[in-house]
Structure 1
């Protein structure tokens, strides 16, 4: 059986479940080419995912959807993890997956799983050391992003006050649209990573123009367009930017 070229990795986490729309959209259009691996909140699922990443064809593409920071990518988080401090050890032991959290899934010590691979990493601050680590350990190409706030707490951490759900909803909606359309075009035309970045920036510019010139009704449009501008401006490609997504 021929292995599918594109691997989508998406750790379980309530705060990134909105990215399912991108995954489902791409799977519908490229079913014969895509295998999606949903990482569940337990060690076995993480180990299986690492093995699947290692076995993905070098001429293929790995797409990661999840949380990250400058030095690592996070794994799955149980739906009740944030309540762990208020739950008895016995209750946690009864259903450990609910309270599980792997916040050190891919790091400097195991990032060689990307050796020979091409990676599109939609995770906060994946345009920093974690990308450099990947290239230093043999990755062909690694496309990463800067800070991408998609929750009230993340916007507040970025210094904003009086954040409403409106900006959160719109940011998620726009990210879904921009990324799914860009990847659809990039995969269909087998663009290079440079060309994919150009497409992301072009579509993002279209959405920014829409809110500034067409749809002026949103009270948060200035904030939204600022973060969309930062989103497209902070894309960085490490390794060979002229390699194609597939092949």
Structure 2
């Protein structure tokens, strides 16, 4: 190895160590926020943390796994499929959290432990078909499905999801589908609004759902800016990205 190659190797290693230390620090701060929010809400059990790694490299997912992160989220199939393939031996669960086209179901079924953005019957059908095919080929487990609920009253500010009135129809369809498990609900708070009323509404929708489907206890809600409100109203899963990984890396 030349001195130049050795020097570059040391620089890369130092940069990697610096990034790992940065992630450890930010992850620790978020975990403290979650712990404090749970205590303030009188909760003895903390929500599961899903670190949203979109736009960040597979190397960061590997660093996060070394720091004890077990769940990572992605919202674009092309990126998620690539990362999960590159990190196939890594012990993490992949959660698909973005709006999903039905023609991507076959790809998502290869790596996702859950899809948290189920919002229409056609997607349920596509996922069920893809998961059963994948189970026949690889023996994968059933796919955890969260129904994404639209909490926006302003049609122009729609951030995705099914109307609350359609939740039960989707729930029944998931329950009847081979290869799928109804896990609960997912939602995003309306942009620029107080998240408390939205998450309170989501909690009530969840209560109604559980009255018919008792096992559907999951509530995936809360991101970097509103995790405390989500914890207050019973979130079981938090989707945190920028407060741990920082802003999107510059495109080169």
Give the structure-1-normalised TM-score. Answer: 0.30
